[in-house]
Structure 1
Amino acid sequence: MRIETSAGPAEIDIARPAKKPPAFLLLLTHGSGGGVDAKDLLAVRDSALESGGAVVLVTQPYRVAGRRAPGKADVQDAAWLEIITAVRRKFRGVPLIQGGRSNGARVACRTAVAAQAKGVVALSFPLHPPGKPEKSRREELLDVGDIPVVVVNGARDPFGIPDPADATEVKVIPGQAHSYRAGFDDIAATVTPWLLRWSA
């Protein structure tokens, strides 16, 4: 399904829990050059569905257009908020949680307050460009205010690992880099109890 935004069309894939109305709505998106088929995103999707939530995987406009780089943050964030507005019309009255991996995690953090999200799932949050710790993006994690954020990063991520004080929870997956090759059960185990609070 396509959603028109000020940055061009986005694509969404909706999955709903099998037996009852969703307890929450989770929007997830990809990293800069990736897609919504990343295994860590799918692990979180499956966890959310089992926890009673509806999940929308979002392919952002720049990827639909075939570009790998997201472009200006303000343009990307504006489009994301337009996507949220459109999707919320389909899921009225349920809490919104948003998240993504890498660049998608940054978008989810930057827009969390404006979107009135109840929580953020940040996979492989890129704390800084590789080899440039002085160019920290820590403020994006802190800009969420009181909104709880769960961060999952690989122990060998060259983009850095957020400090435990920078989020509600920071889980480090041993042996993994920025793109996970394993540890998907650990990701699900970290996210599941956090999501279940919205299913009570």
Structure 2
Amino acid sequence: MNRALLLTPGAGAGRDQPSLVAIEDALAPIPVERIDFPYRLAGRKSPDKPEVLMNAVRASATALAIRTRLGQEQVALGGRSMGGRMCSMLVADGFTALALVLVSYPLHAPGKPERSRTEHFPSIEVP
């Protein structure tokens, strides 16, 4: 395969979130890796700050590229809700990715439609 996908979960779930598993199954034989964020691995329920979450995505995407012997530009990033948001913010900040896969993207903070979470979208240059 000449591409791979890194998937990240929403805030309230882990790597085995059903929608992430379904995406992985549907894309076989493309290499897909589903990760847990550090706060989940530590047994905490509250997410870390975005910088910590984005660093976890960066490290996992880089490791996936190395393991699959692909260039970073051949790895797509994505996730459900918060996980997808962290991937999109990382790419908007200049991290190289093949594409973004955003599932149930949180367009605004819960119960706060006036607080948009899409301000970084114009900086995204991948599909």
Which of the five TM-score ranges fits, normalised by the shorter chain?
0.7 to 0.9
Whether 1:137 aligns to 2:117 is: yes
Deviations 1:34-67 (A, max 9, x none): 0122221111111211xx4100011111110011
Specify which structure has the higher proportion of helix.
2
Whole-angstrom CA distance in 2 between matches of 1:46 and 1:143? 31
Give the count of matched residue pairs.
Answer: 124
Give the alignment of 1:107-126 within 5 angstroms.
107-113=86-92, 114-126=94-106
Whole-angstrom CA distance in 1 between matches of 2:118 and 2:112? 13
Q: Which amino acid aligns with 1:73?
A: P
Q: Which amino acid aligns with 2:10?
A: G
Whole-angstrom CA distance in 1 between matches of 2:33 and 2:50? 21
Q: Once superposed, what is the RMSD of the aligned Cα atoms?
A: 1.6
Whether 1:58 aligns to 2:38 is: no
3-state secondary structure, aligned to 1:115? coil
* Higher relative contact order, structure no. (Cα contacts within 8 Å, ≥ 6 residues apart): 2
Larger radius of gyration: 1
3-state secondary structure, aligned to 2:120? helix
> Does the 8 Å contact 2:61/2:75 carry over to 1?
no
TM-score (norm 1): 0.58
Q: Which amino acid aligns with 1:130?
A: P
> Does the 8 Å contact 2:10/2:79 carry over to 1?
yes
Structure 2 residue runs of 5 or longer lacking an equivalent are: none
Counterparts in 2 of 1:48 and 1:128: CA distance versus 1, 3 Å: same
- Deviation of 1:122 after TM superposition, in Å, equals 0.6
Q: Which amino acid aligns with 2:20?
A: L
- Deviation of 1:124 after TM superposition, in Å, equals 0.8
> Does the 8 Å contact 1:23/1:54 carry over to 2?
no
TM-score (norm 2): 0.88
Structure 1 residue runs of 5 or longer lacking an equivalent are: 1-21, 149-200
